[in-house]
Chain A
Amino acid sequence: MKILVCLKQVPQKDAPLKLNDAGTWIREDVSYEVNEPDAFALEEALRQKEKHSGEVVVVTAGPARAMQVLREALAKGADRAIHLEDAAFVGLDAYNTARAIAAAIKDEKFDLIFTGLQSDDCGYAQTGVILAQILGLPHATIIMHIEKNDGGIRVKRELEAGFFQLVDMPLPAVLTIQSGINKLRYATLIGIKQAKTKPLRKVTLGEVQSAMGANLQKIEKLYAPQKSKNTEFLEGPPAEVAKKLVEKLKNELRVI
């Protein structure tokens, strides 16, 4: 099976974020990591390849720094990488991101395309489904298991409130992968070494721009959330805080 995995580089989970001067995006000087569900998508692709042989290709759209997620993926076992490299890719809506990726892979034929179910920065949860529509492929979202069979694949979709559903679908297909579908592996030293010699294709904005259009939605303003509650902050040494908190639980919240 030939599998494409779409990876996004996002700010690290506990990185303190600051707004840019225009108040439309964050300041870029933070630490980044691969979007968590995308890491599970990559792991799933590597496992499918180990079972059925084939090839795992990883793609990302972002500035030079985004190369890091491709390097890590290659070190973990991906065979080659595609980097749509331009700072402009950061500000795209989901529709344009999907169109850029579709344009970058137009000469390739994948059996499966994976994305994470949503990104930790924008959280649109749309790019994978839009990509499927652009490529004319069936899709399924929030996937927790994938099994190849004679006619195609059987996937396990997560529904809400602890429910699941099995879905049979033909290949090729696009799947958005849920965190926790598998256990992530670490890159090995040999893997890290080998990654340096694996093929990397760079795609410029110019090469895919004709497939893209104006963004259909716009972030007018980004700001810190307004508090909806009157939060009371308890301060002091641990023993004192614990005492104050228990008094509250007892006298105000009446749960003790």
Chain B
Amino acid sequence: MDTILVVVEQREGKLNRVSWETIAAGQAIAAQTGWTLEAAVVGSGVAAIAGEVAEKKVGKVYDVESARLEPYTPDAFAHALQAFLEKHPAKLVLMPHTYQVRDFVPKLATVLKTTAISDAIGARYEGGKLLFTRQMFQGKFVADVSFAGSGLYFATFQNGSFRADKVEAGAAPAPVETVNVEVPDGIVRNQPREVFREAKQAVDLTQAEIIVSVGRGIKEQKNIYLAKQLADALGGELAASRPICDNGWLPMDRQVGSSGQTVAPKLYLALGISGAIQHIVGMKGSRSIVAINKDSEAPIFEIADVAVVGNLFDIVPALIEEVKKAKG
């Protein structure tokens, strides 16, 4: 029987919630293929997480343990999972596409002489073939990608590709097996130090009900005031895509996206934002998305409720006036 293994993510002993989405993905693929679904948690002293996962509809949960797995290093994680997978063969290994997974999965796949389809947004089983969909060219296209050969494959899923609340619970808790792996001296070459935040986040965008966000289309720093005026008129917060913060036009704590804040306001108004994947993952949960962009092909329009194709420098001033009028 072929096995799908979902490796859930934990950091410092806490389950990363995005792991539930990967379990949902595993359950969906298992239902289509008839393969067995199992899960694993990798770390040091993470049995409680294994227990939490065992409540879900999975055949078995492995608690892969070594003292060398805390703190995280790519060397220890790749070594531990290689050792585990050599003893517990799987056909397909699934993980969330987090910064941590990105850091070790290409290494692990290479050690095992196989490949990982990264940052997938969907999967289906068609004519005996697994197909993963992933965005290409910054979301302008989507590709169906298949694995060549047979055997052990890896795939990672983008945040939000499957719904965590769709995870099926098990009829009874799945068995948990502890697997102690040895990570010998000399394997781990990096010495991680503690995790920190640069500065106190002055702005909590997650609490904002209205966000006006600017991207490259704003062209110059001096034009940011336009977005600021619109945000003020609407009573919302000003935010930006990464390039704007990289340029220093707005502080980093106003960045929305995978490396910034994840937001879900009532209204997300995107000005001159093309909609690269890294930005979309931070705002696609917004209740309504309005996008203004001069490029009618911009990927942001794929997820927009209301779209305006046009020059933001013409539209925004008019919009500010109308908002002021409407608010009296």
* Chain A residues engaging chain B, CB cutoff 8 angstroms: 11, 13-14, 16-17, 19, 26, 93-95, 98, 120-127, 129-130, 132-134, 138-142, 158-170, 178-180, 214-235, 238-239, 241-243, 245-246, 248-250, 253, 255-256
CA distance A238 to B313 in the complex (A): 10
Q: Does A242 contact B319, Cβ atoms closer than 8 Å?
A: yes
A132, chain B: closest CB distance, angstroms: 7
B30-38, B56-64, B83-91, B129-137 - the one binding chain A? B129-137
Q: Does B148 contact A215, Cβ atoms closer than 8 Å?
A: yes
Q: Does B191 contact A164, Cβ atoms closer than 8 Å?
A: no
Give the interface SS of chain B, mostly helix, strand, loop or mixed. Answer: mixed
Q: Does B118 contact A124, Cβ atoms closer than 8 Å?
A: yes
Q: Does A241 contact B318, Cβ atoms closer than 8 Å?
A: yes
Interface size on B, residues (CB 8 A): 95
Q: Does B141 contact A180, Cβ atoms closer than 8 Å?
A: no
Is the CB of B267 closer than 8 A to any CB of chain A? yes
Q: Does A246 contact B326, Cβ atoms closer than 8 Å?
A: yes
CA distance A115 to B238 in the complex (A): 32
CA distance A188 to B191 in the complex (A): 39
A232, chain B: closest CB distance, angstroms: 5
Is the CB of B222 closer than 8 A to any CB of chain A? no
- Evaluate whether A245 and B106 lie within 8 angstroms (CB atoms) in the complex, with A217-B115, A255-B267, A256-B327 already known: no
**Neighbour of B322 across the interface among A133, A161, A223, A245, CB < 8 A:** A245
Set of chain A residues within 8 Å of B128, measured between Cβ atoms: none
CA distance A167 to B297 in the complex (A): 41
Q: Closest B residue to A254 by CB, please name it.
A: B266
Contact with A along B93-122 (1 / 0, CB 8 A): 000001110111111011100111111000
B165-173, B177-185, B196-204 - the one binding chain A? B196-204
**Neighbour of A220 across the interface among B141, B144, B299, B327, CB < 8 A:** B144
Q: Closest B residue to A10 by CB, please name it.
A: B137
